[in-house]
Structure 1
Amino acid sequence: MKKYIILLLSFSVLLLFNACGSQHYLDSKTVENLVKNEEFTFMAKSAHPSNYDVINVMNSLPTSSSSRMLNLDYGYGIVIKKNELVSTLPYFGRAYSPSMDRDKESLRFTSKNYKVIKTEGRKNSTVFTVIPSDVSHIRRIIMEIFPNGRAYVSVDANDRQPISYDGNIEQNKN
């Protein structure tokens, strides 16, 4: 009987360590090729606003948690191609100079003139700093991509508070 209990306990500990391990979204070779070619799609899974007014409103909703993140539906992200950057990210926060132009309300824009600075980050990650020249309200986009395909994106704008997103990268759809 003791052998069965020890076997059951060791099996449950093994399952626990397996569940707590890092999640792999893409294999490291695919991520390495996407980063090297500088053509991929970032799919946002959650947004992390920095404005405490937004966080207080989120916390006052009946079914909300006290976390500072908003889970997003599928389809929000950034597509990077050789000569085009398309962003379809939502924005939650304070705009300092609101515009009547619907293209400047959220972080939805297309840039054909942008500069990419690629550096090495911590934990074998790659950091992309994207500076669009033809979009006036976006200062820079910083993407940190990890070898398992996870990515963290921070957007600095000229006319609003910064916001960050968490998600993963995948191959561009043709």
Structure 2
Amino acid sequence: MSVMFLLTLLFSCASQPYVDQKTFDELTSSNQFTFMAKRANPTNFDVINVMNSLPNANSARMLDLDYGYTVVIKEKELEVNLPYFGRLFNPSYDTSKNSYNFTSKDFTLSKVQNKKGNWVYTISPKDVSNIRVVYIEVFKNGNAYVSIDSNDRQAISYDGYIMRNEIKKETK
């Protein structure tokens, strides 16, 4: 009985696909999709140590993100709305400028398929001064990994998944 429970537990924790193969092929061939972040991964250990020092806090749970933090790639637009945890070299008193919240209409996008069959996107915004490169690696099951390299802060990465872009209905 306990062996059956253990096997059930192991298989339920396995990586489950977020998109089917047809949708995956469609999204990666069109280069238009939404990355939905589930978790932030700061590279600065000072941030993690501060989170672990808070009473009754666990940094692992604090870095799990609520629904709605995204990177949206459209034909002629890149929208990024992600929180930032780490060291800012030029912080602002306006706290909305301390996260990644920008729209770029002038960017270069290149993609290559690595040996494992994953797609790696390299996006370089030209009209956002502090962002050098946004890297997105999309795995075959729809999971994705995003890393952002900036001029004014330490690098950070995010785990999540891809999905279709939401079509906004116009209201009258």
Which stretch of structure 1 is more off in the superposition, 102-111 or 89-98? Answer: 102-111
Residue from 25, 30, 45 that aligns with 1:32 = 25
Counterpart CA distance in 2 for 1:45 and 1:172 is 17
- Name the residue aligned to 1:160: 153
Q: 1:14-163 counterparts in 2 under 5 A?
A: 14-65=7-58, 67=60, 70-99=63-92, 104-163=97-156
Residue from 146, 167, 173 that aligns with 2:166 = 173
Cα 1:69–1:143, aligned 2, differ >3 Å: closer, same or farther? Answer: farther
What is the CA deviation profile of residues 38-79 of structure 1, one whole-angstrom value per residue up to 9, with x for unaligned ones?
A: 110000000001112211111112333364970011100111
Cα 1:99–1:16, aligned 2, differ >3 Å: closer, same or farther? Answer: closer
Matched residue type, 1:21: A
Tell me how large the CA RMSD over aligned residues is.
2.1
CA contact (8 A) 1:32 1:147 kept: no
Which stretch of structure 1 is more off in the superposition, 75-84 or 99-108? Answer: 99-108
Cα 1:20–1:114, aligned 2, differ >3 Å: closer, same or farther? Answer: same
Which stretch of structure 1 is more off in the superposition, 119-128 or 38-47? Answer: 119-128
Counterpart CA distance in 1 for 2:79 and 2:59 is 32
Instruction: Calculate the TM-score normalised by the size of structure 1.
Output: 0.87
Cα 1:66–1:83, aligned 2, differ >3 Å: closer, same or farther? Answer: closer
The count of corresponding residues between Structure 1 and Structure 2 is: 167
Structure ID, larger Rg: 1
Matched residue type, 1:63: N
Structure 1: which 5+ runs fail to align? Answer: 1-7
Matched residue type, 1:49: P
Matched residue type, 1:149: G
Counterpart CA distance in 2 for 1:142 and 1:78 is 11
Cα 1:137–1:153, aligned 2, differ >3 Å: closer, same or farther? Answer: same
Instruction: Calculate the TM-score normalised by the size of structure 2.
Output: 0.88
Moved over 6 A (4+): none
Structure 2: which 5+ runs fail to align? Answer: 168-172
